[in-house]
Amino acid sequence: MNAAQLPPVAPEVTATLVEGLSPRLRKRLDAAVTKLAARPTHRDGDTATIEVDDETELRLYAPGGVVAKVEDITCGCLLAPACVHRAAAACAAPVADLAPELAEQATPEAPGPASATAPAAVGPDAAHALGLNVAPASGPDAATGVAANAAPGRAPSTAPAAATPHETASPDQRAAADALWSAGAAVLEAGVDGAGAVTQSALLRAAHTARLRHLPRAAGAALSVVTLLRAARAGNPSYRTAELVTALAELLGTAHRVGTASGAELAAVRGRVRRPYSPDGSLRLYGLFTEPVVTDSGHGGVRTWVAGADGRLFTVGDVAPGGAGRALGVADRAVRLGDSALTHRELGRAGLAVSGATVSPDGRLGAGKAVKAVTARGAAWTEPPLAALWGTPPAEQAARALRSTSRYADPDGTGSDLLFLDVELLGAVREPGGACLLAQCEGGVRVRLTVADDDPALAHRDNLALLAAAAGTRLRIIGRLVPATHPRLTLLACTHPTGEGTVDLGLDRLRRADLPDPSAPAHFAPPQPAGPGGPSPLYLLERRVEQTVPAGRAALGLLSDVTAETRRIRRGGLPTAAALLTALCASAAQRDRDLFGRLLPADTDGFAAYWLAAARYTAAVSESLCAAAWNATEGDQVAVPPVPVHDVAG
């Protein structure tokens, strides 16, 4: 059975079916999900049918595309409707969105609840990273422990609903947030291996309750965790542990802030379910480039970037099921915007005059019936208004892009992760994962340029290999920031090496004849250090944070001694990281006994609070190191820059 063949199931349906099972059947649920995955499935309109065995069929009815009622899942076995098959099918199917409209992606916030138990020996550094209002420790490390403040991912989410200045969460909202916290802490306790269908069901129930209590942001975070847990347990090759770390931190942090936020902060924590398109009048747009979009879920298409006369960036997209093949085909289809006959490729080099424009908070142009668009003259990258995009210093562009890609922040609906640079190509650089292209931009900053997509059907990798043979060539480029301890971009578009026109590096294929010296072999630049200041010992804490997710709290509890690691971290100038590692491992190993010597239940809330503080801290320092790297010239030592310190929850 392919999960993609099953219709999405509403969270409350899955939770209700699992909760209705007897304790004996709950123990068999994970095995039943695995067994169903091996059975034949076929889809006929709104109904998906799974052949449980030669005589029994299981049906999922999805009018409107979603299984919205418990009664819509039926089984023909003798034990139905109290059988395990119905719950197993719901657990195997994708999770439905929170509402018919696209739900806002959950954004992480602060560490765990203030009521969580914290070992007394943590000290001010760790207390500060946990979100307690204490005076900041001195030194660059303490200054960056709370720096992360931008929307996760590449697209900022919608602006939150308004709230009165002194408004606080209602008792029902606090109760819903507490349930989300407990469900997230249970996932950390069990790890991926132990977070089966029953644990996931608790998350789904908590997400449903949070949505009913008008907390879509926290509810969306819970659904993201469930989706990633299922991908991890199914061995999905696209799954990454770092993504689940971020999703769990989003869930726990958002759940905590519901109980402590007020006014505008509360509005940001609540979030919005709908992503509205608001009127933006008449726009004069100039094409920049078109990039192919291929997702792990099998969707494909393109996104064309355009700029307004005031420098604002907008996108026009067309993404649907189909993969890389569809991406290449859609590039030559007409843009769905007004009466324009331009294809996406053409729009990336031409212009549009739009009236009645509607724009989403992340810059997507709406294609409603009232929108009118006609073809207009474009502009070269060296002409106004586009030339101004390359006029901002690289460090300022990187700081802006970092705010857009940061994992932990209140959404503001603004910003872009694109950088516009003038560079000189230096040649290829060998890395553990392959080779990338080294270039030097303004101020002597050396930036590594990597492929945006490894799919062989796209032109990214071949074009990058050809450009490696053009050392010394000066290009104007557009790339997407990759947060790292050294300047790094995925290369999306550039001026043609001959100086005529531009190249969409995912769609257009360069030829060797396009190079200044067609006979030149690929040039490899001298080996580059990991960063001007050398590798940061922060990874010692990062790996413990990630280690918890697959194996649970017990993985850290088995560590005998981390003194050597904390000593190395302190030598690297990160005392907060050392304190957090010590406290995290101590909390994982702590198991108290009662008067009769029996083990008491583990303090899951306390451990979750320390884990969340460590996850938030490592992200903040990583982002600070990234920003510092873009400010460093060749030979400089990267120091963690000072950042205003308030409260980790901020």
> Among 130-139, 198-207, 636-645, whose mean pLDDT is lowest?
130-139
Q: Which residues contact 220 (CB under 8 A, 6 or more apart)?
A: 98, 103, 104, 105, 106, 207, 271
Q: Are the beta carbons of 180 and 207 closer than 8 angstroms?
A: yes
Q: Residue 644 pLDDT more than 60? A: no
Give the global pTM. Answer: 0.79
Residue 158 confidence (pLDDT): 40
Q: Residue 143 pLDDT more than 50? A: no
Q: Residue 580 pLDDT more than 90? A: yes
Residues 464-468 have a mean pLDDT of 92
Residue 274 confidence (pLDDT): 63
CA gyration radius, the chain: 26
Distance CA 556, CA 614 (A): 13
Which H/E stretch holds residue 352? strand 351-359
Q: Residue 206 pLDDT more than 70? A: yes
Determine if the peptide bond prior to 100 is cis (ω within 30°). no
DSSP state of 424: E
Taking only the tens place, the pLDDT of each residue in 14-69 is 999 999 999 999 999 999 999 998 889 998 889 999 999 888 999 999 998 899 99
Number of CB atoms found within 10 A of residue 51's CB: 15
576 vs 557: which has the higher pLDDT: 576
Burial track 342-379 (b if 16+ CB lie within 10 A, e otherwise) = bbbbbbbbbbbbbebbbbbbbbbbbbeeebebebbebb
Using a pLDDT cut of 70, give the percent of the chain over it: 83
22 vs 2: which has the higher pLDDT: 22
Q: Residue 336 pLDDT more than 50? A: yes
388 in the Ramachandran plot: left (φ > 0), alpha (ψ -120 to 50) or beta? alpha
Residue 462 confidence (pLDDT): 94
Distance CA 525, CA 449 (A): 13
Q: Residue 474 pLDDT more than 60? A: yes
Distance CA 254, CA 207 (A): 12
Residue 151 confidence (pLDDT): 30
Taking only the tens place, the pLDDT of each residue in 296-319 is 767 899 999 999 999 999 999 999
CA angle 493, 499, 505 (to 5 degrees): 20
Residues 204-222 have a mean pLDDT of 93
147 vs 218: which has the higher pLDDT: 218
Residues 495-499 have a mean pLDDT of 90
> Among 96-105, 170-179, 422-431, 495-504, whose mean pLDDT is lowest?
96-105
- Per-residue pLDDT band for 411 (boundaries 50, 70, 90) equals low
Residue 266 confidence (pLDDT): 87
Residue 549 confidence (pLDDT): 94
The pLDDT mean for the chain works out to 82
